[in-house]
């Protein structure tokens, strides 16, 4: 099952986010290779500054999502503040 994770950065965490970015990306790359991350990216404000993240995660259930969040460096180091989680169903596009 897919889950949409939308996280908002806490105020004044830009430098902390930058220092943890490579560790965060390494985890996402590994999970993508394992087929557990469908897509991910940064949320931007109107001026193009990063204000959070979006991750589309494959997990069996909410326990699987919690396991991901427990291992997420942006959670552990409190870069992310509010985190919203929703089940997600993608469009089944017709073959081109």
The DSSP annotation for 15-65 comes to HHHHHHHHHHHHHHHHHHHTT-EEEEEEEE-TTS-EEEEEEEEE-SSHHHH
pTM of the predicted model as reported, rounded to 2 decimal places: 0.92
For 41, the domain range is 2-88
Q: Is residue 81 part of a domain?
A: yes
What total number of domains does the chain contain? 1
Q: Is residue 37 part of a domain?
A: yes
Q: How confident is the model at residue 63 (pLDDT cuts 50, 70, 90)?
A: very high
Q: Is residue 93 part of a domain?
A: no
Q: Is residue 95 part of a domain?
A: no
Q: Is residue 96 part of a domain?
A: no
Q: Is residue 49 part of a domain?
A: yes
The radius of gyration of the chain from alpha carbons, rounded to an integer in Å, stands at 14
pLDDT in tens, 20-53: 999 999 999 999 999 999 999 999 999 999 999 9
Q: Is residue 41 part of a domain?
A: yes
Say which CATH number the domain at 45 has: 3.30.70.1060
Query: What does the mean pLDDT of the chain come to?
Result: 97
């Amino acid at each position: 099952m897919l889950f949409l994770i939308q996280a908002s950065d806490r105020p004044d965490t830009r430098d902390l986010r930058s220092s943890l970015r490579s560790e965060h990306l390494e985890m996402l790359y590994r999970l993508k290779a394992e087929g557990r991350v469908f897509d991910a990216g940064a949320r931007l404000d109107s001026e193009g500054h990063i204000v959070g993240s979006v991750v589309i995660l494959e997990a069996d259930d909410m326990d699987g999502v919690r396991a991901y969040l427990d291992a997420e460096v942006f959670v552990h180091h409190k870069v992310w503040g509010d985190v919203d989680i929703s089940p997600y169903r993608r469009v089944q596009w017709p073959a081109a």
